[in-house]
Amino acid sequence: MPRVKQQVVSHEREKVGLVCRACGCQHFRVVYVKHRPGGVVLRRRECRHCGKRTLTRETVVGG
C-alpha cells in the first residue's frame, strides 16, 4: 500500500513577491526579524503603501 505523504509547505523566500492583500502593492519593509529554534525565521513586514502588516514564516532547512 503506497503511502502518499502530502506536505503543504509554502516556500516563501525573498524571490517570491509578497503581495499586500489590502492594496495589492509589493513594497514591504521589514519591521523586525525573529529567529525561532529549528531554523524558523519570522519576518514582520509592513506595507509601504497602506501600512498593513503581515507575518511571513520561513523555514531554513540545512545549512
Residue ranges in contact with Zn ion by CB under 5 A = 20, 22-23, 47, 49-50, 52
- Taking alpha carbons only, the member of 56, 49, 46, 43 closest to residue 25 is 49
Measured from the CB atom, the residue of 24 and 39 that comes closer to Zn ion is: 24
Least distance in angstroms from the C-beta of 59 to Zn ion: 25
Pick between residue 27 and residue 35 the one whose CB is nearest to Zn ion: 27
Contact 50, 24 (CB under 8 A): no
In the bound complex, what is the minimum distance in angstroms from residue 49's beta carbon to Zn ion? 4
Look-up of cell digits 513586514: 45
Matching residue, cell 525573498: 14
Residue 22 or 60 with smaller CB distance to Zn ion: 22
Cell digits of residue 43: 519576518
